[in-house]
Amino acid sequence: MIRNNEKRKETILGIFLLLLLLAVMTFIDAKLPSYHIAIKVIKKASVYALVAVSMNLLNGFTGLFSLGQAGFMLLGAYTYAVLSIPVGKRAGVYQYFDGGWIQFSIPEFFSEHLGETFGLNMGIIIALLLGGLVAAFFAYLIGLPVLRLKSDYLAIATLGFAEILRAFFQWKKLGPLTNGSNLLKSYPDFGSATGYIVLIGIFIALIVLLVNSTYGRAFKAIRDDEIAAEAMGINLAKHKRMAFIISSFFAGIGGGMLAMYMGTLQALSFKSTMTYEILLVVVMGGIGSITGSVITSFLYIASMEWLLRGLDSGTFLGINAPGLFKNGFRMAVVSLIIMVVVLFFSKGIMGDREFSVKGLIRLFGGKKAKENAGGDGNV
């Protein structure tokens, strides 16, 4: 009974915190213009959070070391853009390919039938989900051969897949679909950062539910010991494929949202560097910690895009030293920070633990909470 009461208190506090976050977001959205750096950081960081969590699902929870993330993001991004560019603007975008093959736009279609704002947003979400499905379908196809590989070999195969895909999308013959190596643009955006936060919050919540389900336990068992997992009757091939497909699905959605954030889309930007950046976020946050990935995404993007910008442009923290703070110094500082984090938190900021309401209560509640601390692996 006491336990139930505690649980309810935690849930209420958790919901309260989420609502508070939402209120703050709406406030920021209303106060700041959409080109403000804070809005940009929130958008990009939330996209990175989703992609990092999807990578963590595969690398951290199932123990499959895959480096195909940028490839699946590319698939999602292109699917979203190609399906969303308004029909009227296609002639301009596909100027070298006679307006392209596809002559419809999902968000446009929905905004005509379901009302301007609601329909447009619905259309965007549906196009994003389709992007996820395309990525998932490709994951199924390449999963059939490559998931037989182990550790490094799987990483090499998936990395190769992503690189081939990037080249393939720039192929001239596919131009009427992908616009070749030219930009795709003019597709719609949510406009507000709140849209990003809410949508990505829902997706991450779905991944959390999955990780805590029976399937999630099976994934973790495979990660810990494949042979023992198989002896328990867990079908290895099936579960690995499932984790790979689900991870790619969310990476595809993340890719679509990244395209939306960037405003213009080019296959060239989905380099392996992007995968490494996400891997960096996953490792620094803690392999096997969802909240770790989320927190680190925000810290990483905020530092890279905003807080440390001054290191490249002369003035940082009020110190004006144009001789030292010039192009490239920011990356040197970031590298240093990463080294320090890796040295002092060898398992990442969160390790494999999760940030939880219970942990918060314990942190601020002091004695009473400590007595109830069962030590269930949470912070």
Q: Tell me the closest approach of the beta carbon of residue 139 to another protein, in angstroms.
A: 23
What are the tokens at 163?
């690189």
What are the tokens at 198?
């809410």
Closest to another protein by CB, 213 vs 320, is 213
- Please tell me whether residue 294 adopts helix, strand or coil conformation: helix
Closest to another protein by CB, 117 vs 235, is 235
- Please tell me whether residue 320 adopts helix, strand or coil conformation: strand
Binding site for another protein (CB under 8 A): 214, 217-218, 220-221, 223-225, 227-235, 288, 352, 374-377
Closest to another protein by CB, 216 vs 252, is 216
Q: Tell me the closest approach of the beta carbon of residue 252 to another protein, in angstroms.
A: 28
Whole-number Cα distances in Å, 30 to 20, 35, 42, 344: 15, 12, 14, 39
How long a stretch of residues is the chain? 379
Residue 316 phi, psi (nearest 5): -135, 130
Q: How many whole angstroms separate alpha carbon 318 and alpha carbon 316?
A: 5
Closest to another protein by CB, 241 vs 271, is 241
Q: 157, 142, 147: which is closest to 226 by C-alpha? A: 147
Q: 342, 331, 62, 340: which is closest to 211 by C-alpha? A: 62
Q: Tell me the closest approach of the beta carbon of residue 79 to another protein, in angstroms.
A: 34
Closest to another protein by CB, 11 vs 213, is 213
Closest to another protein by CB, 233 vs 322, is 233
Q: Tell me the closest approach of the beta carbon of residue 33 to another protein, in angstroms.
A: 46
Q: Tell me the closest approach of the beta carbon of residue 61 to another protein, in angstroms.
A: 10
Whole-number Cα distances in Å, 351 to 255, 286, 302, 320, 336: 26, 4, 21, 37, 20
Q: Tell me the closest approach of the beta carbon of residue 222 to another protein, in angstroms.
A: 9
Residue 315 phi, psi (nearest 5): -120, 125
Q: How many whole angstroms separate alpha carbon 67 and alpha carbon 54?
A: 12
Q: Tell me the closest approach of the beta carbon of residue 50 to another protein, in angstroms.
A: 24
Closest to another protein by CB, 182 vs 378, is 378
Contact 210, 290 (CB under 8 A): no
